[in-house]
Structure 1
Amino acid sequence: MTAAPRPRRRDTPPPRTGASETEVLRGFLDYLRASVAAKVEGAPDPEARTAHVPSGTNLLGLLHHLAFVERATFLGKRVTDWQATFHAAPEDGVAEVVARYREAVAEANAVLDGCADLGAPLPRARPDKPSPSVRWALTHLIEETGRHAGHADILREQIDGSTGR
């Protein structure tokens, strides 16, 4: 007897962006943002918050964390307990966390839209800490989002067999 085929999503290839450094960096970040949100969107609610690995990592927590990373990096929001950002509130479902992540991305993009110079510091209100350059922030978010998108790939496959971007 053979196993039933697993649900698959069509794999989305990397973006074809413009030629400028800004277009490439923002294009890849937006690609990864869409990929990680798609991994969480539509996941069954109880399983999305269930840890499927010994570290306790769960699908909903990853996206919740990434919303905090977006706001901390691009808006200068202070986070005092990064570990806590990996846990969505019990009353938050998949739809709420996905919506909050997309809102954080839109707020970050609004800041980025006003940044013409990748070498300039991010324009954010955090006088106690110097702002990183726009280039550094974009590169960091590509790395952070890509890393967690890979985690989300594995977790989503463990939940319902769904694969692809």
Structure 2
Amino acid sequence: MAAAAPRRRDTPPPRTGGTEAATLRGFLDYLRASVAAKAEDAPEPQVRTAGVPSGTNLLGLVHHLTHVERATFLGVRVTDWQATFQAPAEDSVAEVVARYREAVESANRVLDECTDLGAQVPGRGGKGPSVRWALTHMIEETGRHAGHADILREQIDGGTGR
């Protein structure tokens, strides 16, 4: 175990606007920021080291979520989801986190154009999910992996908090 990381102050859930879209996007952005913060200053090689028997590691979670963002909101096809759980060895922690943040920014630009949560996510050729479904799915997916990230980061250096 590396030197103990400073304890982060817990960030309370977001205060969002009164609309359904503002609430969904507020919670998704809250979770996205939490995931990025867990990985951004994590030490090598521990950030790539499996913390559980399944092989899950902190940087791999961020890399995976990058692919999920791109697939869900940008229509990027993924042929091997299992492979997305391993970040490329040549990429630094900062590069993987930056790529995640770029995917989030691109997804948010798409969402900024969506005024009807019941409409399909644009740019998917009529085959995409509704915006409401996509947002709900991303909250579920990001929330699930944010919990994993919490545990993995604590195993790495004792870092806790959001």
Q: TM-score, normalised by structure 1?
A: 0.94
User: What is the distance in 2 between the residues matched to 1:149 and 1:106?
Assistant: 18
Partner of 1:71: 70
Partner of 2:157: 160
User: Does residue 55 in structure 1 map to residue 54 in structure 2?
Assistant: yes
Partner of 2:106: 107
User: What is the distance in 2 between the residues matched to 1:6 and 1:89?
Assistant: 25
Gaps of 5+ in 2: none
Report matched runs for 1:1-165 at 5 Å. Answer: 7-126=6-125, 130-165=127-162
User: What is the distance in 2 between the residues matched to 1:5 and 1:47?
Assistant: 13
User: What is the distance in 2 between the residues matched to 1:149 and 1:6?
Assistant: 18
Tell me the SS of whatever aligns to 2:45.
Answer: helix
Runs of 4+ in 1 over 4 A off after TM superposition: none
State the identity as a percent. Answer: 77
* Aligned positions, number: 160
User: What is the distance in 2 between the residues matched to 1:63 and 1:79?
Assistant: 15
Amino acid at match of 1:41: E
Q: Is the 8 A contact 1:32 1:142 kept in 2?
A: yes
Give, in angstroms, the shift of residue 6 of structure 1: 6.7
Tell me the C-alpha RMSD between the 2 structures. Answer: 1.4
User: What is the distance in 1 between the residues matched to 2:142 and 2:4?
Assistant: 29
Q: Is the 8 A contact 1:76 1:126 kept in 2?
A: no
User: Could you report, residue by residue, the CA deviation over 1:106-165 in whole angstroms, capped at 9, with x for unpaired residues?
Assistant: 0000000000000000102356xx110000000000000000000000000000000000
User: Could you report, residue by residue, the CA deviation over 1:85-109 in whole angstroms, capped at 9, with x for unpaired residues?
Assistant: 0001110111000000000000000
Give, in angstroms, the shift of residue 5 of structure 1: 7.9
Tell me the SS of whatever aligns to 1:159.
Answer: helix
Q: Is the 8 A contact 1:61 1:86 kept in 2?
A: yes
User: What is the distance in 2 between the residues matched to 1:90 and 1:103?
Assistant: 20
Larger radius of gyration: 1
Amino acid at match of 2:150: D
Taking a change above 3 Å as real, the CA distance of residues 6 and 44 of structure 1, as seen in their structure-2 partners, is closer
